[in-house]
Structure 1
Amino acid sequence: MTRYTEVSAFTTVPGQGNRAGVVLDAAGLPSEQMQRLAAFLEAPETVFVTRLSDGLGRVRYFTPTQEVDFCGHATIALGRVLAQEGRWRGEALELETLAGRIPLRLVLDAGGECRVWMRQPAFQARPVDRRWRSELAEALGLSDRMVHRGLPLAAASTGLWSVFVPLLDSFLLGGLEPDLPRITELSRELGVVSVYAYAPMGVSRFAARDFAPLVGIPEDPVTGSAGGALLALLASEGRLPLRGNRASGLVSQGHALGTPGEIEVEVEVRGSQVTAVQVGGSAAVEREGVWNG
C-alpha cells in the first residue's frame, strides 16, 4: 500500500490552481509502479520522494504517461505537504531532480499560511525562427495577426523547454481553440515539452495558457516551471522593469479551465544575463489516500 496526498498548487483554495500528487515515502517503489500511480491519480504531475535526510531530498516526477525531468507546481505541493507533516520547518532543503538540484525556501505569514519558494534550474533560451509564427498561431486557433510583435517568441527553459507565443491581448487566451495533434507535432519539431501562449495584463503581470499534449497533458492548469522561464525570458530581453539587479512579476493561469492560480516570480539579472530564477506560491491539501495497485 502506498500513501499519497493530492494538493492544489499555486492557490489557497482546494480544487483550484494545479493539482499534483505527492508521495513522500517512495524509496522502495519501482518505476513501473510510480507510473501506474501517476496514471491512477490523473494529476498533471505526481512527485515521488525516494530519499529525504540531512537537508537533501531525491525526487522523481511523472505525468500520467511518462517521467519528466522537473515540475514546478508539484515541487510547491511537495513543500506544502512536508511542512504540514512536520518534516520541514524551514531549514535548508535541496531537492535532487533530473534537471539538477532545486533549493527550497519556506515562508510563513502572520496568519500561519505557508508559501514555498524554489530556485529553478538554470535559465536557457534559444530563438524560434519567424517562419514558425503562423504555424504556432494556427495551432492555437488564431491568425498570426494576433501574435504580439513586441514581445519575445522564443523557446526557453528553467527545467523544461516550452515555446512561448506572445498574444496581443489576454482576452484572446479565453477563445483559443488548440489543435492538440498539431501542437504535439510542433512540440516535437521544436524540441519542447509545451506550447505556452501568454499575453500582458500590466507592466509585470501576464496571463497564460500552457498546452503539453506531447507528454500527456492536453492543458496544464498552472505551470510553475514555464512561469519562471517566461519572466526570465522577458527580463533577459529588457521587457521587465528592474529594481537594482532584480525583476519580479506575476503569472495568472488556469482561468480558462475554471481553476485559477497565481505564480510569483523573482529574477536576478546581470546585464542581459539571468543569474537566478525564483518561483513561489501557496498550496492547499485536497485529500489523502492509499493506493493498493
Structure 2
Amino acid sequence: MIAYSEVSAFTSTPGQGNRAGVVLDASALSEAEMRELAAFLGAPETVFVTRMALSRTGPSAVRVRYFTPTQEVDFCGHATLALGLLLAQGGHWRGEALELETLAGRVPLRLLSEAGVPHQVWMQQQRHEVRPLPTTLRTELAEALGIDSRMVHRGLPMAAASTGLWSAFVPLLDPTILDALDPDLERIAMLSAALDVGSVYAYAPMGVSRFAARDFAPLLGIPEDPVTGSAGGALMALLARAGHLPVRGGRACGVIYQGHAIGSPGEVEVEVEMRGVGDVMAVHVGGCAVLEREGIWKRGQG
C-alpha cells in the first residue's frame, strides 16, 4: 500500500492550476509500478521520491523521478513545486538548502513563508538551451495549432528551448488567438517527434513582462498541459536573451498566465539572471500550490 497526494500547482485555489501526483516514499516501488500508479492517478505528471536525505544542519538532497500517464520524463516544473510544498507542510523542509536529484540534473529549491506558513516554492532550473527553428516551419506549426500563419507574431522569437525539457515556442499576435486555438494533436505529436521536443508551446504578449500561453504535449501523453513550469522558465529566458524583457540589476522578471482556456488557470512567476546582453546565467521559477486530496494505492489496483 502506497500513500500518495494530489496537489494543484501554480495556484492557491483548489481545482485550478496544474494537478500533480506526489509520492513521498517510492523507495520500494519498481519502475513498472511507478508507471502503473502514474497512469492510475491520471495527472499530467506524478513525482516519485526514491531517496530522501534530509538534514537540519547541512544541505539536503531528495532523489526523484517523474512520470506522465504514459512515460517517464526527465523533469517537470509543476510537480517539483507540488513536492516542495508537501515537504514543507509535512515538516520535512523548513527552508534550509535543498536540492532535487533529477534525470535532468540537480534542481535547488527555495521556500518562501508568510507568518511561518509555507507560501511559495521556487526552483532553479537547468541551464537554458536554445535551438533555432527554420522560418519555413511557421506555416506548418500554425496549421497544426489550427490557425493561419499570419497570426504568428513576427517580432517575438520562434525557437526550441529547454531548461530541463525541450519545447517548440510559437509566438502569436494576441491572447484572443491563443484562446481560440483548435489544435490537431496528431499533427502536433508528429511535429514534436520530428523536432525532438516534448511539446508545442504557443504564447502571446499581454504586457511588457506578462504573457499568456498554452502547451500541447500529445507526444508525452498530455493533450494540453494546464500550467507548465519548465516551459515557462524556458520561454522567459528565451525572451530575455532576445532582448524582449526589461533587465534591471541583472535580472529580468515576468509572469505567464496559462490554463484559462481549459478552465484551470494558473500563474508562473519567472526570474532570469542575466550577465550582459543576451547571456542567461540562471532561471528561477516559482509559484503557489494547494493540497487537493490524499489516498492509498494498492499494488495492482490500476
Task: Give the TM-score band, short-chain normalised.
Answer: over 0.9
Structure 1 unaligned residues grouped into runs of 5+: none
Note if 1:38 corresponds to 2:44: no
Q: What CA distance in whole angstroms lies between the structure 1 residues aligned with 2:131 and 2:65?
A: 26
Q: What CA distance in whole angstroms lies between the structure 1 residues aligned with 2:255 and 2:153?
A: 19
Note if 1:103 corresponds to 2:108: yes
Note if 1:59 corresponds to 2:70: no
Residue aligning to 1:275: 281
The amino acid of 1:170's aligned partner reads: P
* Superposition deviation, residue 88 in structure 1: 0.6
Q: 1:250-292: CA deviations, max 9, x gaps?
A: 0000001101000000001112110100000000000000000
Q: What CA distance in whole angstroms lies between the structure 1 residues aligned with 2:260 and 2:114?
A: 26
1:171 to 159, 170, 176: 176
Q: What CA distance in whole angstroms lies between the structure 2 residues aligned with 1:112 and 1:160?
A: 31
The amino acid of 1:282's aligned partner reads: C
The amino acid of 2:102's aligned partner reads: T
Q: 1:71-110: CA deviations, max 9, x gaps?
A: 0000000001111111111110000000000000000124
* Superposition deviation, residue 111 in structure 1: 7.6
Q: What CA distance in whole angstroms lies between the structure 1 residues aligned with 2:100 and 2:18?
A: 20
Secondary structure of 2:135's match?
coil
Residue aligning to 1:259: 264
Residue aligning to 2:292: 286
Per the alignment, do residues 109 and 81 of structure 1 end up closer, same or farther by CA in structure 2, a change over 3 Å counting?
same
The amino acid of 1:277's aligned partner reads: V
The amino acid of 1:139's aligned partner reads: A
* Superposition deviation, residue 29 in structure 1: 0.6
Residue aligning to 2:57: none
Per the alignment, do residues 111 and 201 of structure 1 end up closer, same or farther by CA in structure 2, a change over 3 Å counting?
farther
Residue aligning to 2:127: 122
Correspondence 1:55-204 to 2 at 5 A:
55-110=60-115, 112-204=117-209
The amino acid of 2:35's aligned partner reads: Q
Q: What CA distance in whole angstroms lies between the structure 2 residues aligned with 1:109 and 1:168?
A: 38
Q: What CA distance in whole angstroms lies between the structure 2 residues aligned with 1:109 and 1:86?
A: 15
Q: CA RMSD in A?
A: 0.8
The amino acid of 2:285's aligned partner reads: V
Q: 1:26-51: CA deviations, max 9, x gaps?
A: 11110000000000000000000011
The amino acid of 1:98's aligned partner reads: L
The amino acid of 1:289's aligned partner reads: G
Q: What CA distance in whole angstroms lies between the structure 1 residues aligned with 2:118 and 2:273?
A: 26
The amino acid of 2:19's aligned partner reads: R
* Superposition deviation, residue 113 in structure 1: 4.6
Q: 1:106-129: CA deviations, max 9, x gaps?
A: 001248351000000110001000
Q: What CA distance in whole angstroms lies between the structure 2 residues aligned with 1:284 and 1:106?
A: 15
Q: What CA distance in whole angstroms lies between the structure 1 residues aligned with 2:31 and 2:134?
A: 38
Note if 1:237 corresponds to 2:239: no
Q: What CA distance in whole angstroms lies between the structure 2 residues aligned with 1:279 and 1:105?
A: 10
Query: Structure 2 length as normaliser, TM-score?
Result: 0.96
Q: Percent identity?
A: 70
Q: What CA distance in whole angstroms lies between the structure 1 residues aligned with 2:115 and 2:145?
A: 42
Residue aligning to 1:16: 16
Query: Structure 1 length as normaliser, TM-score?
Result: 0.99
The amino acid of 2:175's aligned partner reads: S
Which segment drifts farther, 106-115 or 209-218?
A: 106-115
Displacement over 4 Å in runs of 4+:
none
Q: What CA distance in whole angstroms lies between the structure 2 residues aligned with 1:43 and 1:169?
A: 29
Secondary structure of 2:274's match?
strand
Note if 1:214 corresponds to 2:223: no
The amino acid of 1:13's aligned partner reads: T
Q: What CA distance in whole angstroms lies between the structure 1 residues aligned with 2:208 and 2:117?
A: 31
The amino acid of 1:29's aligned partner reads: L
